[in-house]
Amino acid sequence: MSEKKPLEANVNTASRPSDLKITDIRICNLKGLPMDASILRLDTNQGISGYGEVRDWASPSYALMLKNRLIGENPCNIDKIFRKIKQFGHHARQAGGVCGIEMALFDLAGKAYGVPAYQLVGGKFRDKVLCYCDTDSVMDGKGMGERLKRRMERGFKFLKMDIGIGLLEGVPGTISSPPEMLDVRHIMHPFTGIQITQKGIDYLVEYVRQVRDIIGYEVPLAVDHFGHINLESCIRLGRALDPFTLAWYEDMIPWQFTDQYVRLSQSVATPICTGEDIYLKEGFKPFLEARGVAVIHPDLATSGGIMETKKIGDLAQEHGVAMAMHFAGSPISFLANIHCAAATENFYVLENHSVDLAWWDDLIDGISKPLIVDGFAPVPEAPGLGFGDINEAAIRECMDSGRGGYFDESTFWDNERSHDRLWS
């Protein structure tokens, strides 16, 4: 009979998980990505570090201000720490710090126990994750179709493009708008008074027709960025585009207006999608309970991180709703998304904005590259998020030196204090 090996034989010999403690948090700010990001590093008393990302215009201060709440905590207690800090996140990019820390906790805990992050949330449903790439618009429908066709030639099997009032700029008689409202971005859609005319709708229909003539109908094609138009224009445009079998209409109106989403969903025959700005599963409940969407689209760097986004997906599944995922950052948060997608049954496609950046994969080492192969991302089996380490030379190459150095010390935040308790 072979000798029974102790549990610790399966654990990283450089780590005793029960004695692991967070000792520091540091940030390195990047530029040159589609949406600028800050790489977050959690250090420990046992020499292993975990990486996360504060992404997409979120201030890294949202993460650094939490340093005093993290020091001394065992990073393997992911849920405990998340419950402690989640009150410091909010919708849109204000959750960046909480989400970046949560990613790094999964990276650390996975490394400590020698398992991939997906295993820490219950295992995986798939070995590879379908990806789509957003594609910058051109004003000509045929030109847009050719751009998307080139994506297909690179192996992508799901596509997305923008279709909205941005394409009508300079086309007389296509938009009805109050004075100067077209240049305003801080007013929510229902309050702008902007409408698309029938001429504008006909123009956009012809644009999509030209795209479909080139790429065909077999490949899914989602559409986004309609502009700050009112609900009634959304319905009229949506009905006109229904014959093109689009994968979804995304973020037609602000996510806060559940009743308007219900009306929109009931008025068109194409799936309605939203979610990239919503924080925590509680934010998704109104949509799901009212059946206002057919597809949720959380951004893991906004929604709460790996575990919370899986919970969001599970909640959607209970309501018969599929989950796609929004992403536009570095390979670090990309891999966090891959683990979450692998572990969520009703997931079906993940966004990527970086497929045209030849150096993007090089920001991390110790993983098979390219990260996307023939339109799919293989799920990593290495511990944590699944890469060996960051590539210091590549990180320094795209570092935003105007916002600090390479993982500068963060002692300024050591003594941050507040009364955090939410009950008396």
Q: What is the pLDDT of residues 60-113, one digit of tens each?
A: 888 999 999 999 999 999 999 999 999 998 898 888 899 999 999 999 999 999
Q: What is the pLDDT of residue 7?
A: 53
Q: What is the pLDDT of residue 151?
A: 97
What are the phi and psi torsion angles at 233 (to 5°)?
A: -70, -35
Ramachandran category for residue 366: left, alpha or beta (phi over 0 → left; psi -120 to 50 → alpha): left
The Cα–Cα gap between 362 and 413 comes to 31
Q: Which of 239, 249, 228, 230 is nearest to 161 (CA)?
A: 249
The Cα–Cα gap between 74 and 303 comes to 23
Q: How many helices (H) and strands (E) does the chain have?
A: 13, 16
Domain regions of the chain by residue span: 7-116+392-413, 120-389
Q: What is the pLDDT of residue 211?
A: 98
Q: What is the pLDDT of residue 419?
A: 80
Q: Using CA of residue 368, residue 371, residue 372, residue 376, what is the dihedral sign? A: positive
Q: Which CATH superfamily is domain 7-116+392-413 in?
A: Enolase-like, N-terminal domain (3.30.390.10)
Instruction: Say which residue the tokens 């004695």 belong to.
Output: 19
- Residues contacting residue 118 through CB under 8 Å, at least 6 positions apart: 124, 339, 340, 342, 343, 379
Q: Which two tokens stand for residue 40?
A: 């977050």
- Residues contacting residue 193 through CB under 8 Å, at least 6 positions apart: 177, 178, 181, 230
Q: What is the pLDDT of residue 11?
A: 56
Q: What is the pLDDT of residue 92?
A: 87
Judge whether 218 and 229 are in contact, CB under 8 Å: no
Judge whether 64 and 73 are in contact, CB under 8 Å: no
Q: What is the pLDDT of residue 1?
A: 46
- Secondary structure of residue 384 in the 3-state scheme: strand
Judge whether 132 and 222 are in contact, CB under 8 Å: yes
What is the DSSP pairing of strand 295-296 with strand 272-274? parallel
Q: Which of 255, 250, 42, 48 is nearest to 159 (CA)?
A: 250
- Secondary structure of residue 161 in the 3-state scheme: strand
Q: Which of 381, 344, 322 is nearest to 158 (CA)?
A: 322
Q: What is the pLDDT of residue 12?
A: 55
Q: Within 10 A of 368 (CB to CB), how many other CB atoms are there?
A: 12
| Entry field: residues in the chain | 424
Q: Which two tokens stand for residue 422?
A: 């939410």
pTM check: above 0.85: yes
Residue 131 DSSP one-character state: E
Crossing angle between the packed helical segments 331-342 and 96-113, to the nearest 10 degrees: 70
Judge whether 91 and 278 are in contact, CB under 8 Å: yes
- Secondary structure of residue 250 in the 3-state scheme: strand
The residue ranges of the chain whose pLDDT is under 50 are 1
Q: Which CATH superfamily is domain 120-389 in?
A: Enolase-like C-terminal domain (3.20.20.120)
Instruction: Give the C-alpha distances (Å, rounded to integers) separating 387 from 58, 111, 235, 334, 365.
Output: 24, 10, 45, 11, 6
Q: What is the pLDDT of residue 93?
A: 81
Domains 7-116+392-413 and 120-389 share a fold: no
The Cα–Cα gap between 26 and 38 comes to 10
Crossing angle between the packed helical segments 231-241 and 198-215, to the nearest 10 degrees: 40
